[in-house]
Chains A and B, each alone.
Chain A
Amino acid sequence: MIDEECCGNCDSHNSYHYPTKVFCSTRYDKDQDPIVDTLWRCDDYNKVSQPCYCVREALNVKNGTE
């Protein structure tokens, strides 16, 4: 698991286009575009309680090491 503070490690995320895009329920509640990059982050970041592979795999896509 990669412990970076980004959307893919935030408690508000669900998978949308795995692994590069996530759905953010906090942004949805605020009527903002809920689809964001897995590696993005905002001030509402809240560390996820059960980590997943999103960030690791999104970094692999970004670095072309998939």
Chain B
Amino acid sequence: MERKDYLKEPVEHIKIDGALTVDELMGQFKNSGSLGAGRLAAACDIYEKMIKDKDCTLFLALSGAVVPAGMRALVADLVRNHLVDVIVSTGACMVHDAIEAVGGHHYKGGWVVDDAELYRYHLFRIYDILVPEEDFVKLDLILSEMYADIAKQHKGKPLASDEFAFEIGKRLTDKNSILCAAYEEGVPIFSPSARDSEFGFIHWLHASQKNQQNVLQLDAFKDVPTICGICSRSPKNAMLVLGGGVPRNTIQSAALASKKGLDYAIVITLDRPETGGLSGSTLEETVSWGKMKGKADHAMVIGEALMVFPFVVASAKERLGIDFKRESFLQREKRSIQK
């Protein structure tokens, strides 16, 4: 590169003259093009591109306190509007979703609290969010019955995690539930770490119950050909990560195993790359593995997902307009098979 190539675009200063829409504010951030604002504006542009790319399958990775903090309905709406095509989630995110789907709640709390007192009141804390133990217990009882019903229906055959999520979603009726929306819209939810959540620990209770005839079997290895098959068949693949961990790794590894490499990627995280852990690893590092294409559109926004992601979604929806309809590659594929 020559010197002049480094000096093509001057920073334009952010101007807020009266009322701005979300997308107008993102436009101002793009004018700055710097620091977190620049990355956020880039993420908005890339999400719009992913959605508008008819050949692209959009994988959403969910981890952390996405649901307890209040993004459950937002994600369910994305599913219902086909603005995401596949979800890969921690078990916990789906447990939090199921808690609310059966009538439980998460409560606004604080982070300077007497945790020993919370323990005595049977209240659990997720940073500044509280959830009563009884909401877990009520879900446990419902899940245990669901597990027996699912196992009976499948005659002891092990389920992949997307089949498990499908069966749970089928038995929920709350329209704001991610699991319910995914079942109704045919959007697969993979949960490779389902065991490491209440889904796993309630299995112990379910399986140890006297006279239990139908013990549910879950086989995480069954996920691999399914998710790699989706990546392989999709002309293009995109990844949108809230947090990181197992869900991010699952998507990236599927992109690698299918020898496709991601075409688009957005990561919203507070994790750092210096630890060598995956959650904070840069997307450039991902290129070295072949998990993302070298020319992929990508942005890594260092920020808390609850603050960042609603801006990305609001900006994209504003650009697309209320009449925008998207038919994903997977939907088209399903339609052609049904013919």
Bound: A10/B310 CA distance, A: 45
A25 is an interface residue with CB less than 8 A from chain B: yes
Bound: A52/B211 CA distance, A: 32
Bound: A16/B133 CA distance, A: 8
Residues from chain A with Cβ under 8 Å of B132 in the complex: 15, 18
Interface with B: A29-37, A39-47, A58-66, which one?
A: A29-37
Q: Is the CB of A23 within 8 A of B137?
A: yes
B8 is an interface residue with CB less than 8 A from chain A: no
Smallest CB gap from B211: residue in A: A31
Bound: A28/B205 CA distance, A: 8
**B108-166 interface (Cβ within 8 A of A):** 119-122, 132-134, 136-138, 140-141
Q: Is the CB of B121 within 8 A of A14?
A: no
Smallest CB gap from A1: residue in B: B120
Q: Is the CB of B210 within 8 A of A31?
A: yes
Ordered nearest first, which 3 A-B pairs have the shortest CB separation? A15-B122, A15-B133, A31-B210
Bound: A53/B136 CA distance, A: 18
Chain A contact residues (Cβ within 8 angstroms of B): what range? Answer: 10 to 19
Beyond the given A23-B140, A28-B209, could you list 11 further A-B residue pairs with CB under 8 A, ordered by the A residue number?
A14-B136, A15-B133, A15-B134, A16-B138, A18-B121, A18-B132, A29-B205, A31-B210, A34-B141, A51-B120, A53-B120
For B, the interface residue count at a CB cutoff of 8 angstroms equals 17
When each residue 199-217 of chain B gets 1 if its CB lies under 8 Å from chain A and 0 otherwise, what string results?
0000001001111000000
Residues from chain B with Cβ under 8 Å of A34 in the complex: 141
Bound: A52/B119 CA distance, A: 7
Bound: A25/B208 CA distance, A: 10
Report A7 CB to chain B, min CB distance, Å: 13
**B45-96 interface (Cβ within 8 A of A):** none
Q: Do A25 and B205 form a contact, CB below 8 Å, given A14-B133, A15-B132?
A: yes
Q: Do A17 and B205 form a contact, CB below 8 Å, given A50-B119, A52-B121?
A: no
Q: Is the CB of A54 within 8 A of B122?
A: yes
